[in-house]
Every structure is written in C-alpha cells, then in structure tokens.
C-alpha cells in the first residue's frame, strides 16, 4: 500500500490531525477494532478529551458513522500498542507526516542571507506543502510561483508549463458555481455539504477527505489576528459540477434545497 502523507495527517483548524479511519487503513486494521482500541485505552479522562475528538463521517451508503479525530500525542499513545516490522514503518511515516504538517501550518522554511537561495528553498517547501494537501502538480506550481512573487518580487511564470491564470480559471467559488447552475451560493454550500465534499468548521467550511479531490485551499492575501494566512476553498469546476448535479433528484428529495 502506498503511504500518502496528506491522507495520514491533515490540517484541522490549524492543528495537525489524523483520524481513526486513516489509522485503520494504514495499519491494515478494521475500523471497528481501532475504535475499540481507543475506547479501551488506559489513559486519563483529561488526556482522552484533549487528544481524541469524537466525530463522524458519511459512508458509501450515505449513513453517518462514528470516528475519532486524533492529535499527534493521541496517535503516539494509540500506536504504542501496534507492533511488528510493518507497524514500525507506518509509525515512522506518521511522525514524518505530523512533522511536515506542523511546519506547513507554522509557515516555517529555511532562511538564508542570500534572497535567491531563500526564495529557492521557500519555493520547494511551498510546492511540497501544496502537493501534500492533494493539489494537482500544475496548481501546486502555480500556487508556489504566486507565493514567490508576493514574497520576493521574482516572476517565475515563464517556468510554468501551465500558467497561473490558466489554472485559476479552472477554479470556482460557490458563488461562481451558483451562477453556472442558476441558483445561489447558500444552495451550493448545502449541496457540497450533502455530498460530503465539505463540512462546517466554526463559521466557515473545510474540505472533507473526499472533498480534497474536488477543491483546494487558496491564500486570499490576508492574515488572521494570530498571523496565519486567511484561506478560501475553491472548487475545480469541471470536476465538482458533475458531482453535485448528477444526483439532482436525490438531492431534491431530501428537501435541503
């Protein structure tokens, strides 16, 4: 089985997280057994509450099922009970995935007294981060080039095989998708949620595991009070429109519209 770091650990409200389904997949266990392991762990209530968050997902039969969101410390505690040569390899990869995600969230990269060297290292880091989040290679390159242009004033667009504007033209906001379908953005967001492409996160939305195949987070050029970049979900029009229109009748029957 290929080890996909972006599936193993992801950004959940600016915290690196994994979940019980990912653990079950990569340690080749049944999900119900991982849930049991978590629920039977000999840890304090405080540790459990801080590192294992009850959550849910929608399965292939469109039914809500339980899962746990797991922090780095929670994963280390849980994985101590998984032994064997393969388990050791998976643990190492999980630690690598947590390390990479923590660096991505904090925006760290190697600095140099030479601006060109610093730009080069930052470009490589940004490319890695974008691809780790599941962005296709052309979009990853476009995002990295935009980042370098904003940070250092260097124009690397000629290096792209597909330029930034061409990639951006394929991405849409919910309002732009709504215009395509003759509806409104609230309706589109409900559809995206219903088809398990996004889920509520505070006052906004975040991509689900399935949704990472249809959308991507883009930096809007602003920062939160904490200093972290403000990001917006944009959707690949050619992929997401068929996904939210092919089951139109089923969607209408739910009375969500």
Both tokens of 251, joined, read: 């969607």
Both tokens of 187, joined, read: 């309706």
Contact 20, 54 (CB under 8 A): no
Percent of the chain beyond pLDDT 90? 23
Q: Which helix (H) or strand (E) holds 229?
A: strand 229-236
Contact 234, 175 (CB under 8 A): no
CA–CA separation, 145 and 128 (whole Å): 13
* CB proximity list for 96: less than 8 A, separation 6 or greater: 5
> pLDDT higher for 12 or 162?
12
Position 45 pLDDT exceeds 80: yes
Domain segments of the chain as ranges = 5-105, 107-168, 170-257
Residue 152 — very low, low, confident or very high, per pLDDT cuts 50/70/90?
low
Average model confidence (pLDDT) for the chain? Answer: 76
The arithmetic mean of pLDDT across residues 23-40, rounded, is 94
Lowest mean pLDDT among 114-118, 221-225, 230-234: 114-118
> pLDDT tens digits for 192-207?
998 889 998 877 888 8
CA–CA separation, 211 and 91 (whole Å): 26
What's residue 30's pLDDT?
95
> pLDDT tens digits for 46-100?
999 999 999 998 888 888 899 999 999 999 999 998 988 888 989 998 988 888 8
Q: Please give the model's pTM, rounded to 2 decimal places.
A: 0.45
CA–CA separation, 159 and 239 (whole Å): 26
Lowest mean pLDDT among 12-21, 147-156, 165-174, 233-242: 147-156
Name the most confidently modeled range: 4-8, 33-37, 101-105.
33-37
CA–CA separation, 65 and 185 (whole Å): 28
Lowest mean pLDDT among 5-14, 43-52, 146-155: 146-155
> pLDDT higher for 11 or 54?
54
Phi, psi of 209 (to 5 degrees): -60, -45
Residue 172 — very low, low, confident or very high, per pLDDT cuts 50/70/90?
confident
Beta bridge partner(s), residue 68: 54
């Amino acid at each position: 089985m290929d080890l996909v770091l972006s599936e193993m650990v992801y950004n959940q409200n600016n915290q690196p997280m994994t979940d019980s389904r990912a653990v079950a997949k990569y340690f080749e266990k049944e999900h119900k057994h991982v849930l049991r392991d978590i629920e039977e762990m000999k840890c304090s209530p405080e540790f459990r509450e801080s590192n294992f968050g009850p959550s849910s997902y929608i399965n292939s039969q469109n039914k809500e099922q339980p899962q746990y969101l797991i922090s780095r410390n929670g994963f280390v505690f849980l994985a101590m009970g998984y032994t064997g040569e393969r388990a050791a390899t998976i643990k190492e990869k999980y630690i690598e995935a947590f390390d990479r995600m923590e660096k991505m969230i904090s925006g760290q990269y190697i600095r140099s007294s030479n601006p060109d060297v610093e730009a080069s290292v930052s470009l490589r880091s940004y490319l890695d981060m974008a691809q780790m989040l599941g962005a296709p290679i052309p979009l990853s390159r476009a995002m990295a080039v935009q980042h370098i242009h904003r940070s250092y004033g260097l124009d690397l667009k000629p290096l792209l095989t597909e330029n930034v504007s061409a990639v951006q033209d394929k991405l849409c906001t919910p309002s732009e998708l709504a215009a395509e379908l003759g509806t409104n953005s609230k309706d589109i967001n409900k559809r995206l949620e219903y088809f398990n492409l996004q889920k509520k996160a505070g006052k906004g939305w975040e991509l689900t595991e399935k949704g990472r195949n249809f959308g991507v987070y883009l930096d809007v050029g602003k920062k939160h009070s904490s200093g972290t970049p403000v990001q917006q979900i944009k959707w690949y029009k050619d992929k997401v429109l068929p996904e939210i229109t092919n089951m139109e009748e089923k969607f209408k029957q739910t009375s969500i519209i």
